[in-house]
Amino acid sequence: MERNVDVSVIVPIYNAEPTIARCLDSLVAQTFIDNTEIILVDDGSTDRTPEIIDDYAGKYPQIRVIHQENKGVSAARNAGISLAEGEWIAFCDSDDTAVPRWLEAMYEETPNADLVVCGYNIYRMDLSDNPVPRKESVTRRTVFMEPDIILETLLKERQLQFIWNKLFRKSVIDAHNIRFDESFTVFEDEDFVLEYISWIADVVAIPEAGYNYYFPADFYEKYEFSINDFKKVIKKIYFIIAGVPGRVKLPSIVYWYKIALSRYASRHTYEQTKDSIRYGRKIASSFHRGPFNYLLLRILPSKCIYHLVRRNVR
């Protein structure tokens, strides 16, 4: 009997033997499971991950498995998008879990939006082996239709920059050929979300925390924070807000750019870095939230900024 698939959940997986079972247990326990397909994309794992996910696929008809050579997380997600049959697409990472109503809570809002955003619980594994989760969400159900308000509010509430707390309409993704940029080493989530937002009008955010995000202990060592990748992300922000009068307050964009800038400056000379410092000055002027916010980045000489950011590498 053919199943009706409303939501496709795409899970990119690479060497996730320690965490994949808890992830999949949370997905098959979804209250919306009868209307869901789960696409597992094994990106060339060399541990027992392929055996584990094949075993789950044999037990649960909702699970489909793809095995491919190692191409990276963006390529794995793109492979999942190409095979997805649901009207809506969700993403889950193999080291995270979802609460039972993660999908259902978001799907209930789909008649009203092209993008649905839910809250999440963050477990800071870099601070403790057994952390107390912190909830991140909007305070009440909110409908957004203006691009500057979407960006300002969802970035402030730490809701915009992830893909796993969202439902994306598959028809929008297909119509505009939206895919993850496989050249990115980091910031691929932000790039995908911003590209998607540039094509839609209505966003609904709900306060329910449907996703459990396990912030990696080695997060800052694990990722390169490519400054060139982040500049591509910022370019999309400028495109989205091009028609918005006045200044848009996005201080978190400046924060993450400073991290990328410090990484870059620590490995390059001042002459190689000065253009990126100039760009940082530009976005600090564009996106600061008040007269003193990122004031040093806006007014200090470039050489002073260069030496300061080199000392504060994360």
Report the length, in residues, of the chain. Answer: 314
Interatomic CA distance for residues 44 and 67, integer angstroms:
7
Query: What does the pLDDT read at residue 172?
Result: 98
Query: What does the pLDDT read at residue 292?
Result: 78
Integer-rounded Cα radius of gyration of the chain: 20
Has residue 74 been placed in a domain?
A: yes
Q: Is residue 1 predicted with pLDDT exceeding 50?
A: no
Tens-place pLDDT, residues 51-89: 999 999 999 999 999 999 999 999 999 999 999 999 999
C-alpha of 233 from chain center: 12
Q: Which of 2-6, 21-25, 262-266, 286-290 has the lowest mean pLDDT?
A: 2-6
Please, what's the b/e burial string for 245-258 (b: 16 or more CB within 10 A of its CB; e: otherwise)?
Answer: eeebbbbebbebbb
Residue 268 shares a structural domain with residue 215: no
Has residue 295 been placed in a domain?
A: yes
Has residue 80 been placed in a domain?
A: yes
Q: Is residue 303 predicted with pLDDT exceeding 60?
A: yes
Q: Is residue 115 predicted with pLDDT exceeding 50?
A: yes
Q: What is the mean pLDDT of the chain?
A: 92
* Runs of H (alpha helix) within the chain: 20-28, 49-59, 73-83, 102-107, 147-156, 170-175, 188-197, 219-222, 227-240, 251-267, 270-287, 295-299, 302-311
Has residue 229 been placed in a domain?
A: no
Task: Check: pTM over 0.85? Answer yes or no.
Answer: yes
Residue 295 structural domain: 249-311
Instruction: Please identify which residue in the block is written with the tokens 């870099």.
Output: 126
Tens-place pLDDT, residues 161-206: 999 999 999 999 999 999 999 999 888 999 999 999 999 989 999 9
Residue 213 shares a structural domain with residue 258: no
Residue 274 shares a structural domain with residue 169: no
For the chain, the domain total comes to 2
> Domain holding 134: CATH number?
3.90.550.10
Higher model confidence: residue 310 or residue 97?
97
Highest mean pLDDT among 102-116, 121-135, 252-266, 285-299: 102-116
Q: At what angle do helices 188-197 and 147-156 cross, to 10 degrees?
A: 150
Q: At what angle do helices 227-240 and 270-287 cross, to 10 degrees?
A: 30
C-alpha triplet 33, 38, 41: angle, nearest 5° = 165
Tens-place pLDDT, residues 120-153: 999 987 677 778 889 999 999 999 999 889 999 9
Has residue 124 been placed in a domain?
A: yes
Kindly indicate the confidence band of residue 314, based on its pLDDT and cuts at 50, 70 and 90.
low
